[in-house]
Structure 1
Amino acid sequence: MSTKYRGILEWVKQQIEDKKLKTGDKLPSIRELAEQFQCSKNTVVKALLELEKQHIVYAKPKSGYYVVDYYQTPSTHENEIDFLSAGPDKRIMPYEDFQHCMNQAIDHYKEQLFTYSEQQGLLSLRKELAKYLQQLQVFTKPERLVITSGSQQALHILSLMPFPNGKKNVVIEQPTYFGMVDSLQLNQITTFGIELTMAGIDFERLENLFRTNDIKFFYLIPRCHNPLGHHYTNEEKKKIVALAEKYDVYIVEDDYLAELDKDSKADPLFAYEPNGRVIYVKSFSKVFLPGLRVATVVLPEKMIPSFIHYKFSTDFNTSPLSQGALEIYLRNGMFQYHLETVKTLYIKKMNTLLEACSLYLPNYVQFTKPKNGFYLTIFLPSQIDVDKLIYLLHEKHIYVDNASRMYLAENKQKAIRLSISQVNENKINFGIQQLAETIIDLCEKKKYNPLSFKSYH
C-alpha cells in the first residue's frame, strides 16, 4: 500500500483520537483530502472504504463520509500491576478473527439473528458445542444443552428454580466464586458452606450436610478453582457423585476453565454420572471474549422445560448474533488455535507468580499453589487490615481483590486473591515484591508475632 494511503488512515484515526473529529462529524471531501495529501482521488476513496470496513466512518449517499463513533482506549498508568482483573489478557483476545465470524454470521443467518430465536439456543450452535464438549469428556446430545447469557445467568436460574428432588437448600465450597455467593444471598436461599483447602474437603462433613439439611444441590468448581486454584482428583469426584446419588442431591459443576487443565486424564464430575445427577455449566468468558455473554448448561431432560421457563422470564433468548458468530468460530477451528496461545501464556504467568510468591512473601504468610488456572489466594495474618493493605497497594498502582466476599459471613477469612489473567508477566515479580514489603510493614507496625498465625494447609 502507498504511504499516502496509510497517511490518510492514520490522519483520520488521529483526528478522532484527538477529539478533533467526533461522533457524527463529517470528514473533509474526497477532493479536499486528495489536495491535502497530494494524491489521487482513487487513493482517498480506497482509504475511506478501508475506514468504513473498520467501522470507523460511514458513507451518506451524495453527502460524504461521517464518523461512526468516538472511541478512545482507556488510559492506564504505565506502572500499573493488575492482579485484580479476571477477564482474558487483552493482548491475545481474537478481535479480528471473531469480527470475521460476526460478519459471516450476519451474512448466513440474517433472518434468524435479528428476530426472536429458539429459547433453548440456536440448534446449530448446540450441535457444535456438543462436539466441542466431547474434548472435555462431556458426552451429551444437543437436545440437553441450553444456551445462556453467560454462566452467571445459568447459576442464578439454578439457584431459583425447583429441582426434581423437591429440596430447597444449597451447599457451596468455602471460599467460592463470589457471583454464586451473591446470587444465593440476594435470593435469600439457605446456604451451607464446606471448607475447601488445597488438601480438599472433609467428606464426613459433606455427607452429614447431604444427610441432614434438605440439600437441593452442591455447587462446586472442580478445577482451576476460583479463588484457590484447587483441583479435585478423579477419585474425589467419584466420591462426591456417589454421595450425591446416595442422598438424592444434585451437583452443579462449574467447569469454567476446563481448557487450562494440563492433566489430560482429569475428568469432569459429569463423566461419572452423565444421566441426570450432574448439571454441567461451561462458560467461555475467561478464555475467549467475556463481552460475548454466551455459556451453555447441560441439563437432565426433565429439568429443561422449567429452566427455559425461568430463563424466558429474564431475557427471552440469548443474543442470536453472538450465538451465530460463536458457532462459526468453533466450526472453522479458530477457537482451537486460539486456545493454544491462551494455554502457553497463562501457564507461563502462573509459574512466574508461584516463583515470586515463594521468593518474596514472608514465611508466616500462607498462599495456595495452583497447578494452573487464573487464581492464587494469599492468607493474611489476623492483625492485618485487609482494606488498608489493598488501599496501600492501590497507592502504588498495584491492584488485588479482597477474597472475603468469596465466603459466607460465618466463614470469612482474611485473604486476597491474585489473578494472572491480565497482569503483564514482566511486572509480576516486582508486584509481589511490593506486596510482600507492604505486608511486612503493616505487621511491624502492629508488632506482629508470626507464631500467632493459624496455618492454612
Structure 2
Amino acid sequence: MVGTVHHTALSLVIVTNGSKQGLSLATHYYVQPGDWVIVESPTFHGALAILESLGARVIGIPMAAEGMNLELLEQYLRSHRPKLIYTISTLHNPTGLTTSQAHRQQLLALAHEYECPILEDNAYEGLNFEPVPPPIKAIDQHDWVTYIGTFSKTLMPGLRVGYMVVTGKHYQPILERKLLQDLHVSTVSQAIVSEYLASGHYRRHLSRLRAKNLQGRNAMLQALERYFPEEVEWTVPRGGLFLWVHLPAGLPIQAICREALAQNVLVANGAAFFLDQRGYPALRLTFLHPSEKIEQGIAVLGKLLKSYLAPGTRGQASRLKQEGILGFVAKTEGGTKLVG
C-alpha cells in the first residue's frame, strides 16, 4: 500500500505510532463493548488482546489456503450482524498466507452487502517474494475499508512510524481520536522515513531484505523436510518473516517450547493466535536468522517432537484430514504438505 499511498491524497492518511496504534484507533472507533467482531482463525494475538480489552464478542472464521472461509463468513454476517471484519490479507500473521484477488473482491462485496466495515492490517506488505494482489483498500469504492500499514517490519521497529488510510466519513472521527492520544508521531522519525522513501533507498533496502528473507525461508523448508517427523505439516509463505507449523494432537506444546528455549531455541506457541487460546496445536517459526542457525534450531525442535510422538499418535494427521480439520495445501521441495 506504500505505493498506493504515494498516489493517495495526504488528507486521507493518518500517521500513527506504529500499526498497533492504528489498530487500536480503528477498533475503538468501530466497535463498542458487546459488539460482534469477525476475525480470521488463527490471527494476530495483539488484535485479539485489543478486542478482549474492549469487551467485544469475537467470532473466529477458519483460515484456508485462499483466506477465511467466505461461506461461513456470510452465515455470521447474516445471523450476528457484526460491526467489523478484521483481516490480514497479505502475508497473514501467523500463517504467512496471502489471499487471492478473487477472495479480496468477494470479501469486499460481502462487506458492502451486509454493511460491515473491514479493517485491513497489512504490517508485512512489502516483504513479498513475488507479486501480490492490490490491497482490498485499493479496490474499495464505498469507504468500507480502513487500511493499516507500518515501516516497523520493513525498515526499523524503533522508528514507530505506521499509517492508516481512512476515507469518507470515518476520517475525521478517527483523526480526532488520534489527536486526543498524542497529537503527532515524532517528526524526526517521520523525516527519516520520508527521506528514505524519496531517495530510493527504501526500494533498494526492501530488495535486499526480501532476498535475505527468501534465503532464510528456503533454508527452513529444507531443514523441516530433513528433521521434522512426517506427521508435522507447515505452510510455505510467499514472503514475510515466518511460517506456520501444524502439529499432531496431544503434544505438550508448552513443554516443548520450554525445552526448546532451554537449548536456546525460541518459538511461538500457536495457542496465542487463537481466541481464548483454543485451537489446534501449532507453532510459528521465524526464518530471519542465518541458514546455519535455522538448521540448528529446526534440528533441536525436530528431535524434541520425535521424542514426544508416541506410536499412538502416528496417523493422527490422516484422521484430521479425513475430518476436514486440515484445510489447505502447501508444496515444498520434498512433496506436498497438508496444513490446517
Q: TM-score, normalised by structure 2?
A: 0.88
The CA RMSD measured in Å over matched residues stands at: 2.1
Measure how far apart 1:274 and its partner are: 4.3
> Aligned to 1:253, what secondary structure does the other structure show?
strand
Cα deviation, residue 345, structure 1:
0.4
Whether the aligned pair in 2 keeps the contact of 1:294 and 1:318 (CA below 8 Å) is yes
1:452 aligns with 2:303: no
Of the three residues 244, 251, 255, the one matched with 1:377 is: 244
Which amino acid counterpart does residue 452 of structure 1 have in structure 2? Answer: Q
Alignment correspondent of 1:152: 20
Matches within 5 A, 1:255-274: 255-264=122-131, 266-274=133-141
SS of residue paired to 1:146: strand
2:200 corresponds in structure 1 to: 333
* Amino acid corresponding to residue 160 of structure 1 in structure 2: H
Give how far 1:315 is off. Answer: 1.9
What is the CA–CA distance in structure 1 between the aligned matches of 2:275 and 2:250, rounded to whole Å?
Answer: 21
Cα contact 2:66–2:100 (8 A) shared by 1: no
**What whole-Å deviation, never above 9, does each CA across 1:328-362 have from its counterpart, x for those lacking one?**
22112221121111111011111111122122211
Secondary structure of the equivalent of 2:146? strand
Which ranges in structure 1 are unaligned for 5 or more consecutive residues? Answer: 1-129
Query: Could you tell me how far apart the structure 1 residues matched to 2:68 and 2:145 are?
Result: 19
SS at match of 2:309: helix
Q: Deviations over 1:115-154 (max 9, x none)?
A: xxxxxxxxxxxxxxx9x423x8x85211100000010011
Instruction: Say whether 1:429 aligns with 2:332.
Output: no
* Residue pair 2:90, 2:97 contacting (<8 A) in 1 also: yes
Q: 2:9 aligns with which of 135, 141, 154?
A: 141
What residue in structure 2 maps to residue 413 of structure 1?
Answer: 280
Q: Distance in 2 between matches of 1:253 and 1:162?
A: 13
Structure 2 counterpart of 1:424, which letter? P
Q: Does 1:190 align with 2:60?
A: no
Query: Is the counterpart of residue 391 in structure 1 residue 261 in structure 2?
Result: no
Q: Evaluate the alpha carbon distance shift between residue 199 and residue 332 of structure 1 in structure 2; reply closer, same or farther with a 3 A threshold.
A: closer
Q: How far apart in 2 are the matches of 1:308 and 1:452? A: 51
Q: CA deviation digits over 1:297-353, x for unaligned, max 9?
A: 000131122112222232222112211221122112221121111111011111111
Question: 1:328 & 1:255 partners in 2: Cα distance?
Answer: 22
Aligned equivalent of 1:342, options 202, 206, 209: 209
Shift of 1:199: 4.8
Contact 2:210 2:239 (8 Å CA) reproduced: no
Instruction: Check conservation: 1:218, 1:250, Cα contact below 8 A.
Output: yes
Contact 2:90 2:132 in 1 (8 A): no
Alignment of 1:27-176 (within 5 A): 132-134=2-4, 139-162=7-30, 168-176=35-43
CA distance in 2, matches of 1:309, 1:231: 33
1:443 paired residue among 309, 318, 338 = 309
Are 1:139 and 1:271, in contact at CA under 8 Å, matched by a contact in 2?
no
Name the structure with the higher strand share: 2
**1:198–1:228 Cα contact (<8 Å) kept:** no
- Whole-angstrom CA distance in 2 between matches of 1:269 and 1:293: 24
Determine the structure 2 residue equivalent to 1:68.
none
Shift of 1:269: 1.0
Measured in 2, the distance between the counterparts of 1:189 and 1:139 equals: 35
Distance (whole Å) between structure 2 residues aligned to residue 274 and residue 340 of structure 1: 31
Which is greater in Rg? 1
Distance in 2, Cα, partners of 1:272 & 1:210: 21
**Percentage identity across paired residues of the two chains:** 25
Contact 2:213/2:241 (8 A) holds in 1: yes
Could you tell me the TM-score, scaled by structure 1's length?
0.66
Structure 1 residue 197, shift from structure 2 partner = 2.8
**Where in structure 1 do 4 or more consecutive aligned residues deviate above 6 Å?**
none
Query: What does residue range 226-265 of structure 1 map to in structure 2 within 5 Å?
Result: 226-264=93-131
Taking the aligned partners of 1:355 and 1:274, their CA distance within structure 2 comes to 43
Structure 1 residue aligned with 2:172 = 305
Aligned residue type for 1:391: R
State the number of aligned residues. 320
Structure 1 stretch displaced more, 256-265 or 272-281: 256-265
- The runs of 5 or more residues in structure 2 that have no matched partner are 328-340
Report how far residue 275 of structure 1 moved.
Answer: 4.2
